[in-house]
A and B are shown apart, each in its own frame.
Chain A
Amino acid sequence: MVGYWQLLPEGLVLTGALIALFGEFMPGGDRGAVRIGAALAFSAALIIALDGSSGTLFGGMLTFDGPARFIRAGVAGLTGVWLLWLSGRDIAPDEPRRRDAAALALLSAIGGMVLAASTDLITMYMALELSTMPAYVLVGYRRRDVAGLEGALKYFLLSLLTSLIMLYGLSFLYGSTGATLFADISLSGTGALGLIAALLTIVGLLAKLSAAPFHFWAPDAYAGAPASAVAFVSTVPKIAGAAAMVRLMHVMLPDEPQLQWILLLAAVVSMVLGNLSALPQSDIRRLMAYSGVAHTGYLLLALSSGTQYGYGAVLYYAVAYAVPSLAIMLVVAEEGPALADMAQLAARRPAVAWSVVVWLMSLIGIPPLAGFFGKLYLFRAPLEAASTPWPVAAVVVAVLVSVVSAGYYFRVIRQMFLADEPDSPCVVPNSVASNIAVGIAVVATIAMGIGIAPLLELVGL
């Protein structure tokens, strides 16, 4: 497609959001509106996946290339999965209202899709905000739940802080280079100001990606939120954030090689802190929050290599991490947030339990699942680019802590298969739509691993 037709997928998603807002007037009420939203999101993903064209819009403010195509399809597809699941379930046990959640998720998805394509400071910032603003509301979706509101407030305040820091950095970037288009920004010769501007800018994205030490909001926000909201909030905006990070690094890293060390530092701290903090958690939402911190660490590790290879690995793994992570949280939303709630899942719902096993295996990095290849590329990128021993040391740390991470993932598996049956196991009603959603996630996790070749081409690996 050419010209403004390239924005057709975003238009479809926007239509879905508008329809969802008026869900009570739709046939089938909220449920019907969510189904329409899911269908539109899937069709958007399909259009992006099938349309091989590339181009720019608005004088280069948006660039539709391979990486943008991959990420946009991923964002739209995952949003579709989430909405499909939602059409069969409530967002929280005592919260029957779905239409607002669907609209918010679709709006956030538009932000993420535009973010993946934006090659301009202004569009990047706007898209970033659009992708995270709905997330605050989703976290505090249960209006009478104090814990959720507290989490939402914390998320909002910390996000606001880092957004302002980022905006501050953007103003310096514009001030010192006189350009907002990525193509025109050159930091060479701007001295310390350019470096500080770059650093301030990155901080905003690091916080959205919940990289240490800007991750503190994540565990608190997720632990208060409905697990279904966490499923969306912790994954979809993150994919787009990773894509934006890659684009920014394309611009900044060549001129400011010091950033490489900053990224490496953040990577190591995130991996170690995330994995160690995840170990003692009893709430799966918290556990997955810390696991997300750790996975962001892996992404930053590859990002710090500053090579095309590393960037491709980041893009691929961002999606390869998001699919199982989202799916696990959906199951948690069905069963209950505590680790103990998963006890004997294998006996009650064997198919779901085995699906969880597949996703966890992918997160740990067992071949031939998506996570294995992702980690492989992520860890190889810094090794190939390394000119000093430090990146190599960081990769060694990464491998060690991912062994540690197996510890807490296996605890989930042990609960599902070996723990004693709880006294009063919750009975989850069957739902075709959500089962399909879970099925899609399993297929995607396996397919992304086995059919990796065309995807790698897309992200430029």
Chain B
Amino acid sequence: MAELSLVLVTPERTLFDKPVASIRVPLFDGSAGFYPGRAPLVGRLGLGELRLTDSSGASESYFIDGGFVQVKGSVVSVLTNGATPVAEISRKAAAAKIEEAKAIRAKSDEEFAVAARRLEKARKMLVLAGKD
């Protein structure tokens, strides 16, 4: 039986490096799922939830902040700027982040882009936090 393992790395550390049964990642335009035996792929990630299921059926979720995914052989590598276990996201903190992002007064296009991105990130976090 083909195997699949996930390596989740951020610039600061390697968060996850274990065999899994299936993985779902947020691509830039929607989510994508990987099962063992996936053809090689390099993709751009968006903001959202990375969900993995191990062989016993238990699942784990991380909120990831952009980056790349590479599928090569049986290894799926996810490179992201930041990953937070969903269990650690609280509704309150996410809501506070939305307020924070809304409070930014952008003066230029660049600042506006940054503020918009922060708002989007906070909103997506809130959606995920709402599940638990």
- The judgment on whether A and B are partners is no
- A residues whose Cβ falls under 8 Å from a Cβ of B: none
- B residues whose Cβ falls under 8 Å from a Cβ of A: none
